[in-house]
Amino acid sequence: MPAPSTRTITVLLNRNVESLGIVGDVVKVKPGYARNFLLPLGVAEAPTEERIEALKAARAEAHAELETIRGDRKAIINALGELTATLTRSCNDRGVLYGSVTQRDISDALVALGHGVDERAVRLANPIRRVGDYPVTIQFDKDLRAEIHIIVEADRSLDEESEEMEFDNEGELVEPSRRRKPEAEEGGSEESSEETSENTDAETETAKA
């Protein structure tokens, strides 16, 4: 089996491309990426000395904007520290949410607290589906990250209701009717025993007569 091609081509970026570079950068990319996306959309072109020179001013401006954005993000990370945010959700009697808490939910909660965190910066492997305390990483760049705590709590008290509930060995809720059934059966058994005893006494009296 032939080894995959590692050949690249060099292009000049006409605008900022996330995870690739900013306007005026000369970068190397795979031919297919350049042919199918960068070149047809005018995002990049073949580099020439004239075009590189023409984009110098735009590149300097883009650098300044990135520095401003990085400064804002650094301030957000410092402010987050070990912040704890609480989200209230509806759930069943065992704390399983009706729905889930997603990256967007966490982002919205942080924005409401005054921290401009885009949902893409919320590193959440899987949506949260139960009440509890969860560590969540907020990361903008490799060196700009913070860990916060998200507390998901029920919109009602589960402790009071759980006192009146009974679960079987498999964690299933035992219905009240099922819990009362053995008592009824025991009562019926006692009544049956009393009736049997009375019948026996009656038969003994008849035999004596």
Q: What is the DSSP letter of 91?
A: B
> Which residues of the chain have a pLDDT value below 50?
1, 161-165, 167-171, 181-187, 189, 192, 206-209
pLDDT of residue 127: 94
Say if residue 67 is in the same domain as residue 93. no
Q: What tokens does 84 get?
A: 């704890």
- Whether 186 maps to a domain, the answer reads no
Range of the structural domain that residue 101 is part of: 81-160
Domain boundary among 50, 77, 104: 77
Interacting residues of 147 by C-beta distance below 8 A, sequence separation 6+: 82, 135, 136, 137, 138
Say if residue 63 is in the same domain as residue 99. no
Q: What tokens does 200 get?
A: 């026996």
pLDDT of residue 128: 95
CATH for 60 = 3.40.5.10
- Whether 172 maps to a domain, the answer reads no
pLDDT of residue 142: 87
Give the Cβ contact number of residue 51 at 10 Å.
14
Say if residue 65 is in the same domain as residue 106. no
- Whether 171 maps to a domain, the answer reads no
Q: How far apart are CA 89 and CA 150, in angstroms?
A: 12
Say if residue 67 is in the same domain as residue 123. no
pLDDT of residue 19: 87
CATH for 110 = 3.10.430.100
Say if residue 149 is in the same domain as residue 86. yes
What value, to the nearest 5°, has the Cα angle with vertex 64 and ends 58 and 68?
140
Say if residue 98 is in the same domain as residue 28. no
Summarize pLDDT for 35-45 with one digit per residue, the tens: 999 999 999 99
Domain boundary among 77, 94, 124: 77
Summarize pLDDT for 18-32 with one digit per residue, the tens: 889 999 999 999 999
pLDDT of residue 175: 56
Q: What is the largest CA-CA distance in the chain?
A: 132
Say if residue 90 is in the same domain as residue 72. no
Domain count, the chain: 2
